[in-house]
Chains A and B, each alone.
Chain A
Amino acid sequence: MAARVLQLLRALAFPVLLLAAYEWWARNAGASSDALAPASTAFKTLLQALMGKDLWQATGFTLGTAALGLLLGGVLGIGLGVCLGLSPRAGRMGFLTIEVLRPIPSVALIPLALLVYGFGVRMELSVVAFATFWPMLVLSQAAARQVEPVLLEVAAALQLSPAERVRKIVVPAMVPRLFVALRLGVAIALVVAVTVEIAANPNGMGYAMMIAQQSIDSALMLAWLFWIGITGYAINAAALWLQRGVERRMGVQP
């Protein structure tokens, strides 16, 4: 226990030192700056915001939209990825289309999504789904291709139906690689959601940060920045926790 506390303190030493240096600079050399507020002021602003309703509403909007977009992109991407991974012919046929569409920067679709859906959940959702679809597709295709061939022969020897083969052999065998895809997808979804809000959609955390910046409320802006960072960290930790739980149930030894 004491060793773990010590380890945590060691890990915290550097960020705390950085914050202290920034605080010192903001109070002395940068005191005249309108652009940057000291860290302590930003913390105070964040605590105040945490008491209010707006912060939670904006956070809920961003996370909810990112989650829905990831769900949509993930289900479509994994579904298609399994098909393309299991059938080499389908994989070859899809290859060119995927390689042409995949490099399109997802945020380049913001104007189009805005035209089609207008402001709100749907335009943000569509951009997040597009952004997460490709990595999910490519990673799950690779995962399906790498399923142990002996296991597929076991399935054939037992005369499992194609649906049973996917459900009982292919998908469970893909789980470790799917978690890599999921954690990548979670990060992309959050980045893209916040980007869409900063660039176009007047909702959520990204927009709130933009408003704070435009009204030169640098303490609030920094508070949002810090809060978005915490949210990202928490989501990644949750995905990791989920992964560990599933792995334990699937017999992975610690």
Chain B
Amino acid sequence: MSLLRFDNVAIRLGGREILSPTSFTVERGEFVCIIGPSGCGKTTLLRAAAGFLRPSAGGVQRHGKEVLAPSREAAFVFQDYGRALLPWRTVEGNVALALEAAGVPAAERPTRIHPVLRTVGLSAHAQKFPVQLSGGMQQRVQIARCLAQEPELMMMDEPFGALDAMTRAGLQDELARLVRDSGLTVLFVTHDLEEAIYLGDRVVALRTNPTRDAPSLAAMIKVDIPRPRDQLATREHPEFLRLRRELYQYLEH
């Protein structure tokens, strides 16, 4: 059974159809990227998958069960890392929140926090407050908090969109490594086409203003580029360039 199944999910906001009925599935261990121009409903689709909002029609099923509300088994990484962290808690405290929510006893928490912080390279900053960290590090804290809740699925809403190019490249590689090591399933929303091809096993392209003839789901493409991928070699790979050319049209308005 698919881990996640979008079953004719449609979303209307204020009488306007943002997302026409869209169906696809996400398999366990898959890295699926959703791209599209702004306003195409990609974030809304992700939020529906997380249970933050109910679709106007159709539904999202996780393991065959309708998603009605957020669940700890599916972690959500918000784009706005600065607002998604508790500014009054240290890095360690922010990660601990996920464990407190899961009812992990206080004595057991350090042994679960430290490996997670090591994974995202924040071991040396455990006692710092978010304001003392750079944007890239703050986003790592959020990813660490999500990892600490030991989810089977991680949903990421343009997580690297606000970061500079160098930091973004570094975090992309870290994320790819981490997903490979842990076998996590990832649903990743981005407006950066190259990022989607670089990270994804599959890329879902959405379009704005769907009509009967041109539904929201514009294209669904498998990325057959070997892993581990490399910032230079992969981006020069003929298949990468071909996919980039093919998908580019879907980002235009």
B110 at the interface (CB under 8 A from A): no
Of all chain B residues, the one with the shortest Cβ separation from A169 is B86
In the complex, what residues of A have CB within 8 A of residue B100's CB?
Answer: 164, 168
Q: Are A157's CB and B75's CB within 8 A?
A: yes
Against B, the Cβ 8 Å flags (1 = close, 0 = not) of A146-183 are 00101101101111100010001100110100000000
Q: Are A251's CB and B98's CB within 8 A?
A: no
Stretch of B21-29, B128-136, B202-210 on the interface side: B128-136
Q: Are A159's CB and B88's CB within 8 A?
A: no
Stretch of B38-46, B77-85, B172-180, B242-250 on the interface side: B77-85
Q: Are B50's CB and A157's CB within 8 A?
A: yes
Q: Given known contacts A156-B70, A158-B101, is B88 in contact with A151 (CB within 8 Å)?
A: no
A5 at the interface (CB under 8 A from B): no
In the complex, what residues of A have CB within 8 A of residue B101's CB?
Answer: 158-160, 164
Q: Which of A154, A157, A172, A250 has the most CB of B within 10 A?
A: A157
A interface residues (Cβ-Cβ under 8 A, vs B): 148, 150-151, 153-154, 156-160, 164, 168-169, 172-173, 175, 250-251, 253
Q: Are A250's CB and B88's CB within 8 A?
A: yes
Give B157 Cβ to nearest chain A Cβ, in Å.
11
Question: A253–B130 Cα gap in the complex (Å)?
Answer: 11
Q: Identify which of B75, B88, B90, B129 contacts A172 (C-beta below 8 A).
A: B88
Question: A253–B88 Cα gap in the complex (Å)?
Answer: 11
B72 at the interface (CB under 8 A from A): yes
Closest 4 CB pairs between A and B? Answer: A251-B129, A250-B88, A158-B101, A150-B83
Q: Which of A148, A151, A251, A253 has the most CB of B within 10 A?
A: A251
Q: Is the interface of A mostly helix, strand, loop or mixed?
A: helix
Question: A159–B74 Cα gap in the complex (Å)?
Answer: 11
In the complex, what residues of A have CB within 8 A of residue B76's CB?
Answer: 153, 157
Of all chain A residues, the one with the shortest Cβ separation from B81 is A150
Q: Are B72's CB and A251's CB within 8 A?
A: no
Give A179 Cβ to nearest chain B Cβ, in Å.
13
Question: A201–B83 Cα gap in the complex (Å)?
Answer: 50
In the complex, besides A251-B87, A251-B130, 8 extra interface pairs with C-beta distance below 8 angstroms are: A154-B97, A158-B72, A158-B98, A159-B69, A159-B101, A168-B97, A168-B100, A250-B87
Question: A253–B133 Cα gap in the complex (Å)?
Answer: 12
Q: Are B132's CB and A253's CB within 8 A?
A: yes
Q: Are A156's CB and B52's CB within 8 A?
A: yes
Pairs across A and B, CB under 8 Å, 28 listed: A150-B78, A150-B80, A150-B84, A151-B83, A151-B84, A151-B86, A153-B76, A154-B78, A154-B97, A156-B70, A157-B50, A157-B52, A157-B70, A157-B76, A158-B101, A158-B149, A159-B69, A159-B101, A160-B101, A168-B86, A168-B97, A173-B88, A175-B88, A250-B87, A251-B89, A251-B129, A253-B129, A253-B132
